[in-house]
Amino acid sequence: MLKDRKLIVVVVEAALEQRLSKDILTRGAKGFTITHANGLGPRNQRAGDLEGGNIRLETVVPEEISLKILELLKTSYFPHYACSAWVSDVQILREDRY
């Protein structure tokens, strides 16, 4: 009864919350969950030290959508922004929601 999906986690500076959310949805994700986060990474160059840390966005999507999102990150986020992302396998119950 469980179906396979991909979980993408993206950590990015908080100023990009709106933009990333929109971009993710236009790539075909049907939903996402965001928590506020802090962190450290190899780049660690950052605007808005004042404007609060990172966001951690996670979205459960079919594999083909996950590839589109990764492509998006590669072209529009990784080059300029403090951004981390990873993908893993998850399983879900309600197929039509993800």
Ligand X SMILES: Nc1ncnc2c1ncn2[C@@H]1O[C@H](COP(=O)(O)O)[C@@H](O)[C@H]1O
The interface with a copy of itself within residues 41-60 (CB under 8 A) comprises 41-42, 54, 56, 60
The interface with other proteins within residues 51-70 (CB under 8 A) comprises 51-53
Per-residue binding letters, 47-86, with ligand X (x by CB under 6 A): -------x---xxx---------------------xxx--
31 binds other proteins (CB under 8 A): no
40 binds ligand X (CB under 6 A): yes
Separation between Cα atoms, residue 12 and residue 38, nearest integer Å: 10
